[in-house]
Amino acid sequence: MTDRRNIDANRVVDHCRMMWRIRAFEENALRGLDEKIVLGAIHPTIGQEAIATGICANLNRDDVLLSTHRGHGHTLAKGANPEAMMRELFGKEGGNCGGKGGSMHIADFGVGMLGANGVVSANIVIAAGAGHAIKLKGEKKVVCCIFGDGAINRGPFLEGLNWAVVFNLPVLFVCEDNGFAATTRTKTMTGGDGPSARARSFGLQAKEIDGNDVMAVDETAREMIDAIRNGGGPRFLHAHTYRLTGHTGSDPATYRPKEEVEEKWKDDPIVRASALVDGQKDAIEKAKAEAYAEMSRAFDVAKAASFPSADLAFTDVQDAGDPRQGAY
Amino acid sequence: MAIMTYADAAKAGLAEEMRRDPHVWAVGEDLGRGGVFGQYGGMLAEFGPERISDAPISEACIMGAAVGAAMMGTRPVVEMRFSDFALCAIDELVNQAAKARYMFGGQARVPLVVREPIGMWRSSAAQHSQSLESWYTHIPGLVVVCPSSPADNKGLLKTAIRSDDPVVYMEHKGLWPVEGEVPEGDHLVPFGKANVLREGRDVTIVSWSAQVHLCMKAAEQLAKDGIEAEVIDLRTLWPWDKDRVLASVEKTGRLIVAQEAVSVSGFGAEIAATVSETLHGALKAPVKRLGAPRIPVSYAPPLEDKARVTADQIAAAATALVGR
Ligand SMILES: Cc1ncc(C[n+]2csc(CCOP(=O)(O)OP(=O)(O)O)c2C)c(N)n1
Ligand SMILES: [Mg+2]
């Protein structure tokens, strides 16, 4: 629990601003889904905003982030432009990936966001490799790899953590533990003592924290990222949270009682952060209003944008060979 | 020109590229002691353990880490030991390496080379003998290379390392000790340019990798009977030199595709279909595919041999096509 006495009020307000931006982005994305202009599946991050916010506040622009299918919050917090993201969700020209990726492949290399991933756990080994490149080049950058509690049951989790330890790589692994893997309670399908215990068994320093306490995430991430940047090798952050929406934007989540979700709304990370500071109510309200205005503008611009020209289907496949060969 | 083995030629090519570009590095199990076929022998001493890097037995992570390291501006050469083991890293290659550039809208490049030794030698059975090159030709984003000679193994490996595409680089285990002349210095063989090993007017024989040598043997037998075969070594399966193959079949009117891989859905089917679609009117005989039956490779020699396409079979097929 964050101690209210020696808290940096401005930092809390900044975090509230980022969390509201993520929340507002997700609500607009869900509106897009309702209006059928979000074309594919989206995985909202409502309720989990504190993790992306607290961690990315400690990453530099040229640090690297690898994310998952539930990646909008991470991408925004790393500094991506929400209008380009919204365009991508709508499959429009000017999307981060030119409309070729959509929500599950959202990426913005310009801010070090090397991609969401449609394959659970796959980002863990890629993150290890990104760390490996940083080490080979003698750079001071840090890689942050965020994945869900479901990802720890796939082989790449084991292989990637071991790799990062063996090569002493600058990687922060973050398990965003929302208790669910799609419609399944993750614990019922996970042996042993869970994410941190597994990480420790590989020799990683691991910490388990309340991931809805943004200042706790901020502080732990800062400590770990500093240690990593100074050559201390990989670290593991296990953050508990709760997914307040369904698994996807269209999942009614009937596999869990309504009362459970109502109870969890009381633990809303934005409300909790706002309660940490006195006298900042207006500043936070203003940040909230600006966030909703920003995201609704992004929605409108993306909605009005055109689809990409169909010929672009043939670009950026690869340098060698003709992608049209044999077709039609 | 120096006389070198297929293994040493690749080593020379890799070493040259590593000297030229500090971002090239190699990673795989047991590389420090030279690799399981000696194809990295002695390199640790020159380049050190960071650039000739041992790896845990973690094929998915070797490949996945190479994807991340390639996206971050290095040029990893990944060793998979056997193409069979690379199947443990299929997601990393097919869903990640091959797709990253496209699905991120051109933001990523994944300049990795994955070396996947293929093919039968003797009594290595079903999990150490496969030729899986056609799988990768099906995947947009990948380049597929199958060198047949020491010179090509140097020149194609150098081109692969300089390529910004992910390259599946398939060396044949039976070719490691084969010797040949290898140009010194910057010898680069481009992708998609076939090598016509022998010109002939009667029948075109298209092949790649070790099978090329059996085709040449067959062509010599055929020449004794007055049949002149044109033998084309494709060198790379994606991109493949369609123009060169079509030009040859236009001349000969007859096509045989010979491959060590299982014939069903093998790359020979792609060549046969392309030639049939394009040159139907010019064909003097139906196209002929030769490849392995749809059986796993065995251990005992008489059984294992049932999976081989021999020079005699190639010659017999050509004789039948020519109608003698
Ligand atoms: C390899 C793989 N298997 C299955 C899926 C389908 N899938 C998508 S998200 C998901 C649940 C993932 O749970 P978790 O890792 O905890 O992330 P969360 O959705 O809770 O953020 C599943 C099973 C997938 N994308 N990739
Ligand atoms: Mg989960």
How far is Cα A251 from Cα B121, in angstroms, rounded to an integer? 53
| pLDDT at position A327 | 84
Q: Is the C-beta atom of A182 inside 6 A of ligand 1?
A: yes
Q: Is residue A320 part of a domain?
A: no
C-beta pairs of B295-298 under 8 Å, 24+ apart in sequence: B296/B125, B296/B126, B297/B120, B297/B124, B297/B125, B297/B126, B297/B129, B297/B130, B298/B125, B298/B126
B167-169 and B143-145 beta bridge pairing: parallel
B153-212 pLDDT, tens per residue? 999 999 999 999 999 999 999 999 999 999 998 999 999 999 999 999 999 999 999 999
Torsion angle of alpha carbons A200, A206, A210, A212, nearest 10°? -120
Domain assignment of residue A317, yes or no: no
Instruction: Tell me the β-bridge partners of B257.
Output: B206, B289
- Distance in angstroms between the alpha carbons of the first and the last residue of chain A: 62
Measured between its terminal Cα atoms, the distance across chain B in Å is 41
Distance, in Å, from the CA atom of A165 to the CA atom of A132, rounded to the nearest integer, reads 11
Q: Is the peptide bond before B190 cis (omega within 30 degrees of 0)?
A: no
**Structurally, what CATH architecture does the domain formed by B2-182 represent?**
3-Layer(aba) Sandwich (3.40)
Alpha carbon B289 to chain centroid, angstroms: 18
HEC secondary structure over B215-246: HHHHHHHHHHCCCCEEEEECCEEECCCHHHHH
Are the CB atoms for B166 and B141 separated by under 8 Å?
A: yes
Asked if the domains at B2-182 and B195-322 fall in one CATH topology, the answer is yes
Q: Separation of A290 CA from ligand 2 center, angstroms?
A: 30
Instruction: Please list the residues that pair with B76 across neighbouring strands.
Output: B25
CB contact under 8 A, B104 and A323: no
pLDDT tens digits, A263-321: 999 999 999 999 999 899 999 999 999 999 999 999 999 999 999 999 999 999 999 99
Q: pLDDT tens per residue, chain A (328 residues)?
A: 667 768 899 999 999 999 999 999 999 999 999 999 999 999 999 999 999 999 999 999 999 999 999 999 999 999 999 999 999 999 999 999 999 999 999 999 999 999 999 999 999 999 999 999 999 999 999 999 999 999 999 999 999 999 999 999 999 999 999 999 999 999 999 999 999 999 999 999 999 999 999 999 999 999 999 999 999 999 999 999 999 999 999 999 999 999 999 999 999 999 999 999 989 999 999 999 999 999 999 999 999 999 999 999 999 999 999 999 988 8
- The reply to whether residue A132 touches residue B102, judged by beta carbons under 8 angstroms, is no
**Domain interval for residue A294:** 4-263+275-304
Cα torsion A245, A251, A256, A260 to 10°: value is 20
Both structure tokens of B171: 């060396």
- Closest residue by Cα to residue B296 from B169, B128, B117: B128
Contacts of B100 in chain A (CB under 8 A): 115
Q: In angstroms, what separates the C-alpha of A249 from chain B's closest C-alpha?
A: 22
Ligand 1, pocket-test mutation among A66, A72, A104, A120, most atoms within 8 A of CB: A120
Return residues 64-83 of A near B (CB < 8 Å). 64, 66
Which of B:191-210 have CB within 8 Å of A?
191-192
Q: Is A3 an interface residue toward B (CB < 8 Å)?
A: no
Q: For position A87, which CATH number holds?
A: 3.40.50.970
Q: Are B217 and B182 in contact, with CB atoms under 8 Å apart?
A: no
In 10 A of CB B321, how many CB atoms?
A: 23
Instruction: Tell whether A270 is covered by a domain.
Output: no
For residue A46, the CA-to-ligand 2 centroid distance in Å is 13
Residues B64, A126: C-beta atoms closer than 8 Å: yes
- Of the candidates A155, A166, A316, the beta carbon closest to that of B102 is on A316
Question: Cβ–Cβ of B105/A97 closer than 8 Å?
Answer: yes
CB proximity B32 to A under 8 Å: no
Which of the residues of B are catalytic? 128
Question: How many helical (H) and strand (E) elements, i.e. helices and strands, does chain B have?
Answer: 12, 14
Candidates A118, A129, A320; nearest CB to B191? A320
Ligand 1: which residue has its CA nearest to atom 9? Answer: A182
The answer to whether A107 contacts chain B (CB < 8 Å) is yes
A136 is a domain residue: yes
Whether B48 has a pLDDT exceeding 80, the answer reads yes
3-state DSSP call for residue A295?
helix
The H or E element containing residue B275 is: helix B267-279
Find out whether the beta carbon of A253 lies less than 6 Å from any atom of ligand 1: no
B196-249 confidence digits (pLDDT tens)? 999 999 999 999 999 999 999 999 999 999 999 999 999 999 999 999 999 999
Determine, yes or no, domain membership for A316.
no
CB A175 within 8 A of CB A149: yes
**Among candidate residues B36, B44, B40, B37, the one with its CA nearest the CA of residue B157:** B40
What tokens does B319 get? 């004789």
Q: Please report the residues numbered 226 through 245 in chain B whose beta carbons come closer than 8 angstroms to any beta carbon of chain A.
A: 238-239, 242
Which of A180, A323, A192 has its CA nearest to residue A255?
A180
**CA atoms within 13 A of residue B150's CA, in its CB half-sphere:** 21
Q: How far apart are CA B173 and CA B6, in angstroms?
A: 10
Say how far apart CA B221 and CA B312 lie, in whole Å.
Answer: 8
What percent of chain B has a predicted confidence (pLDDT) above 70?
100
The C-alpha atoms of residue B77 and residue B95 are separated, in whole angstroms, by 19
DSSP per-residue letters across A49-81: HHHHHHHHTTS-TTSEEE--SS-HHHHHHTT--
CA torsion through residues B303, B306, B309, B310, sign: positive
Distance between B284 CA and the closest CA of chain A, angstroms? 23
Domain B195-322 sits in CATH at 3.40.50.920
B237: nearest CA in chain A?
A: A321
Q: Answer whether residue A315 is part of any domain.
A: no
CB contact under 8 A, B103 and A134: no
Domain chopping of chain B, boundaries: 2-182, 195-322
The per-residue pLDDT for A1 is 62
* Ligand 1 site, residue A118, Cβ cutoff 6 A: yes
Q: How far is CA B310 from the centre of its chain?
A: 19
pTM, two decimal places = 0.97
* Mean pLDDT over the full length of chain B: 97
